[in-house]
A and B are shown apart, each in its own frame.
Chain A
Amino acid sequence: MFRASLRRGLTAGAVGGLLFGLFTALVANPLVGYTESLAHAHEHAPGQGHVMPETVTAAASVAGGVVWGVLLGGVVFGVLYYLTEPALPGAGSTKRYVLAAAGFLTVSGGPWLLLPPQPAGVAHTTPVGTRIGWYLAAAATAAVACTLAVVVFRRLAQTGVAVRFAALAGLLPFGLLAILLVLGPSGTAVGDVPGTVVLAYRGVVVAGQAGLWVVLAAVHGRLSHRRKQRLAVGPNETLPTD
């Protein structure tokens, strides 16, 4: 049962990863090139910055997108969904979207409050070691907040509180993220990319990651649905080919 779950998670991850790779190739690569052309004060100075031709970078980035999807699909939907499914609120696909939302907040959303995505051409002023430390701290805080949110919701729903009030109360643990904003480094960045472009860029990055999580949840739900149908038909009977 665990193996089947892991296989479904990895398959969903491969589909999500391929789509995210496509997104990287069609949207992100040109956008990164554009913001880089806007910037003059980029940390990779022209002429000595890129050690590889653009096409190799583009291809490697697509491959990176695929690996990213498979990793998230395998870990979050293959392993974590299997383990936490009994505790997740809702039924059927709701459980998957709850987990996807928690995954997005932990891996990206929470950390972005401290360290928002920066376009190429804008350099963080905080050193990379510090940023990785804060990334891990923010991811851990977001994971704790998501877990507490589910616990609070379930406790209240069990005691007979209306679902919408339980859901509202479940939002309270996300106040923990405010601690990060108080303690974390003030995210300053330097570069010549105009503010509106930075904002648009962030929108694209957020949409890309949120889209990846939605695809993971949807494909995973689809695969599980097909498995249930197969089980309902019975292992010894043949399925109609569709």
Chain B
Amino acid sequence: MAATHTVSDRIAQANQELTRWEVAAGLALTAGLLIGLLLLQQPLAHDGLHNFRHAAGVVCH
């Protein structure tokens, strides 16, 4: 395990460990989940997550 003491070291290390596709897939998954949870206004999903949105204080109510 290499000593990593700065943020740029960490970014460089992550760069080495991950392929471009893995990064893209991770970002896409995160964006998808965020949109799904926060921005979805379709009645079915909106209503289904009604109590969750209130419990978490999500602003799109």
A residues contacting B by CB (< 8 A) are 1-3, 20, 23-24, 27-29, 32, 44, 49-52, 56-58, 60-62, 64-65, 67-68, 71, 74-75, 79, 82-87, 108, 111-112, 115-120, 124, 128, 131-132, 134-135, 202, 205-206, 208-209
B17 touches A115 (CB 8 A): no
A2 touches B18 (CB 8 A): yes
A86 touches B33 (CB 8 A): no
- Complex: how many Å from CA A135 to CA B53? 14
Q: In the complex, which residues of chain A have a beta carbon less than 8 angstroms from the beta carbon of B52?
A: 24, 28, 60-62, 64-65, 68
B14 touches A2 (CB 8 A): yes
B49 touches A60 (CB 8 A): yes
B25–chain A nearest beta-carbon distance, Å: 12
B57 touches A209 (CB 8 A): yes
Instruction: Give the secondary structure class of B's interface.
Output: helix
* A64/B49 contact (C-beta < 8 A), A1-B13, A86-B4, A117-B54 known: yes
Q: In the complex, which residues of chain B have a beta carbon less than 8 angstroms from the beta carbon of A117?
A: 54, 57
23 example contacts (A-B, Cβ-Cβ < 8 A) are as follows A2-B18, A20-B56, A23-B55, A51-B44, A52-B44, A64-B49, A68-B52, A82-B10, A82-B14, A86-B10, A108-B56, A108-B57, A124-B61, A132-B38, A132-B39, A132-B60, A135-B59, A135-B60, A205-B54, A205-B55, A206-B57, A208-B56, A209-B57
Q: In the complex, which residues of chain B have a beta carbon less than 8 angstroms from the beta carbon of A208?
A: 55-56
Instruction: Give the secondary structure class of A's interface.
Output: helix
> Does B11 have its Cβ within 8 Å of any Cβ on chain A?
yes
- Complex: how many Å from CA A108 to CA B14? 28
B56 touches A1 (CB 8 A): no
* A32/B34 contact (C-beta < 8 A), A1-B17, A24-B55 known: no
Which has the most chain A C-beta neighbours within 10 Å: B4, B44, B49, B50? Answer: B50
